Amino acid sequence: MATELLCLHRPISLTHKLFRNPLPKVIQATPLTLKLRCSVSTENVSFTETETEARRSANYEPNSWDYDFLLSSDTDESIEVYKDKAKKLEAEVRREINNEKAEFLTLLELIDNVQRLGLGYRFESDIRRALDRFVSSGGFDGVTKTSLHATALSFRLLRQHGFEVSQEAFSGFKDQNGNFLENLKEDTKAILSLYEASFLALEGENILDEARVFAISHLKELSEEKIGKELAEQVNHALELPLHRRTQRLEAVWSIEAYRKKEDANQVLLELAILDYNMIQSVYQRDLRETSRWWRRVGLATKLHFAKDRLIESFYWAVGVAFEPQYSDCRNSVAKMFSFVTIIDDIYDVYGTLDELELFTDAVERWDVNAINDLPDYMKLCFLALYNTINEIAYDNLKDKGENILPYLTKAWADLCNAFLQEAKWLYNKSTPTFDDYFGNAWKSSSGPLQLIFAYFAVVQNIKKEEIENLQKYHDIISRPSHIFRLCNDLASASAEIARGETANSVSCYMRTKGISEELATESVMNLIDETCKKMNKEKLGGSLFAKPFVETAINLARQSHCTYHNGDAHTSPDELTRKRVLSVITEPILPFER
């Protein structure tokens, strides 16, 4: 029962203007028109056209977005109207969460819905207090004796919010042979909850491992005829990617559409979710206006024809990393960095000669503007664009927070370029590294560490010396999401790369190093992802060196990796599904709430 990851319930035609039936004036977000297809403009003589000797080319898909956004006015009066309305609705939901007389399961399901509908960030302290009440009054112990659904739901919510709860909570639902009770399967909702809870497992929690196997095997046997359309869609949605590995925006748009079909849907919650989603979307549109204005001014994409132009996909990725409205700087910074990474990766991967790549890596390490004199023309432009952008991010931090962060930003870029250079050397020398050698370098070349270092300085208000030292040493909070980034990326491109005889991929290295088949190697890589996720879950259970906002941002990088590479490489080769997702997250407001 394989369906699309994002089964939107609205007809989308790709060449239409973005607002099908224009929203009523009050709720209409600031209009941003995205024409979906454009060809890369060739009117400027690009550096690469004057090249004579043959250069490799990857024939990437051109950028599919038209940067000539209709730049609507920067001042969003419409937002103010919604803010007042949202405030009133928020107060009502807050009362419900803080209602101490509410029955615990009702409260837990309300919290789950609030989070799935993308509103969790508005009620963090309320949810924390409610879960405190639930635990301190023995609520959790109570449910573990009565309902698998309540146990699994509360286990997941508590772990998500850093409560130390034991996997033993599920032992009560096992028979004497230690297997999960067969009769549990009659309650699909409970099995779904068990499935979602199992992804909060830590290393060595065998009960949760067994729970996952038990739940998956049962969910896969179900059919729409047996459980009905609504539940079947939920099962499908979960099996495609568990909640814990989904980005909040994609989950919100799916959940809102699913939730609005429920007869018993909480109308206040639904109205707030739609309003909030559209309000945040207009913040993204304002952010994207600024980022695309910057990218058009930089003009690298039109000058370096051989390289991928993926600004919109990079911005969409940055939304996944930091979706909350207050993190515009983080989205802007991450989108800029990923746009540069995409182009510079192509210089190392496809276009540059080894000598040129050595020069470029040296220039980034020295971080001396005069280095442009030693570079070939196409690299001069790329280096100076990168140089100016990084110095400007450092300037903003110095101006707003009084800290000179330039050394940390430039080191992150030097490490990334050295990782790219290592891969280029393997490629040029046709050498095949062991899995450990390859992966020890590849999680850095994923650009995960670079993105998270830039995200750290954008998200964290008061920088701490100890945190920076650990960032520099690539603390687990940096390395683990980057491991997942690399593994997901490699999984998505393994078959095509192996078919092309390319060796730089986790799966092919695994095959070579362990002497096993592609299928077995793929499975091993998937297990590696699972184990890394468990290690990462540890950071959430309190005691992390880093403040929560940055921990969540780091975990979001892993989530965005799962989503981007789940169906092929949506960044390198954006397909229809990717474009639908970008539209639904950035430009298409959700149809208005109707009582």
Residues of each annotated binding site = 345, 349, 423, 486, 489, 493, 497
Tally of CB atoms within 10 A around 117: 27
- Considering only 201, 394, 416, 551, the residue that binds a second copy (CB under 8 A) is 394
Rounded to a whole number of angstroms, the minimum distance from the CB of residue 297 to a second copy is: 8
- Considering only 173, 387, 438, 439, the residue that binds a second copy (CB under 8 A) is 387
Annotated binding site for Mg(2+): 345, 349, 489, 493, 497
Cα–Cα distance for residue pair 499/564, rounded to 1 Å: 22
Q: Which is nearer to a second copy, 411 or 566 (CB)?
A: 411
- Asked if residue 369 binds a second copy (CB under 8 A), the reply is yes
- Asked if residue 402 binds a second copy (CB under 8 A), the reply is yes
Cα–Cα distance for residue pair 159/19, rounded to 1 Å: 40
Site string for a second copy, 55-94 (x = CB under 8 A): ---------------xxxxxx-------------------
Q: Residue-wise over 501-510: b if at least 16 C-beta within 10 A, else e?
A: eebbbbbbbb
Place of tokens 């043959």: 54
- Asked if residue 395 binds a second copy (CB under 8 A), the reply is yes
The footprint of a second copy on residues 90-149 (CB under 8 A) is none
DSSP E strands in 52-156: the ranges are none
Cβ proximity of 447 and 509 under 8 Å: no
Q: Which is nearer to a second copy, 145 or 293 (CB)?
A: 293
- Considering only 156, 159, 161, 303, the residue that binds a second copy (CB under 8 A) is 303
CA–centroid distance for 158 within its chain: 22
Which three-class secondary structure state does DSSP give residue 42? Answer: coil
- Asked if residue 372 binds a second copy (CB under 8 A), the reply is yes
Q: Which is nearer to a second copy, 390 or 586 (CB)?
A: 390
Rounded to a whole number of angstroms, the minimum distance from the CB of residue 395 to a second copy is: 5
Q: Which is nearer to a second copy, 72 or 513 (CB)?
A: 72
Site string for a second copy, 326-365 (x = CB under 8 A): ----------------------------------------
Cβ proximity of 325 and 278 under 8 Å: no
Q: What are the structure tokens assigned to 181, written together?
A: 């009770």
- Asked if residue 398 binds a second copy (CB under 8 A), the reply is yes
Label residue 414 exposed, middle or buried (CB < 10 Å: 0-12, 13-18, 19+).
Answer: middle
Cα–Cα distance for residue pair 209/91, rounded to 1 Å: 40
Q: Of the ranges 273-281, 386-394, 441-449, 484-492, which one interacts with a second copy (CB under 8 A)?
A: 386-394
Question: φ, ψ for residue 180 (rounded to 5)?
Answer: -65, 140
Strand-pair partners of 180: 174
Annotated binding site for dimethylallyl diphosphate: 345, 423, 486, 489
- Considering only 21, 59, 177, 373, the residue that binds a second copy (CB under 8 A) is 373
DSSP E strands in 29-109: the ranges are none
Residue 335 vs residues 202, 347, 387, 452, 587: alpha-carbon distances, Å:
31, 19, 16, 12, 17
> Total number of residues binding a second copy (CB under 8 A)?
35
Strand-pair partners of 174: 180
- Considering only 146, 179, 217, 388, the residue that binds a second copy (CB under 8 A) is 388
Label residue 226 exposed, middle or buried (CB < 10 Å: 0-12, 13-18, 19+).
Answer: exposed
Rounded to a whole number of angstroms, the minimum distance from the CB of residue 493 to a second copy is: 32
Rounded to a whole number of angstroms, the minimum distance from the CB of residue 468 to a second copy is: 16
Return the DSSP state at 348.
Answer: I
Which three-class secondary structure state does DSSP give residue 400? Answer: helix
Q: Of the ranges 35-43, 203-211, 294-302, 554-562, which one interacts with a second copy (CB under 8 A)?
A: 294-302
Question: φ, ψ for residue 327 (rounded to 5)?
Answer: -100, 40
Rounded to a whole number of angstroms, the minimum distance from the CB of residue 407 to a second copy is: 8
Label residue 193 exposed, middle or buried (CB < 10 Å: 0-12, 13-18, 19+).
Answer: buried
- Considering only 385, 533, 554, 570, the residue that binds a second copy (CB under 8 A) is 385
Q: Which is nearer to a second copy, 347 or 381 (CB)?
A: 381
Binding site for a second copy (CB under 8 A): 44, 70-75, 297-299, 303, 367-370, 372-373, 377, 380-381, 384-385, 387-388, 391-392, 394-396, 398-400, 402, 404, 406
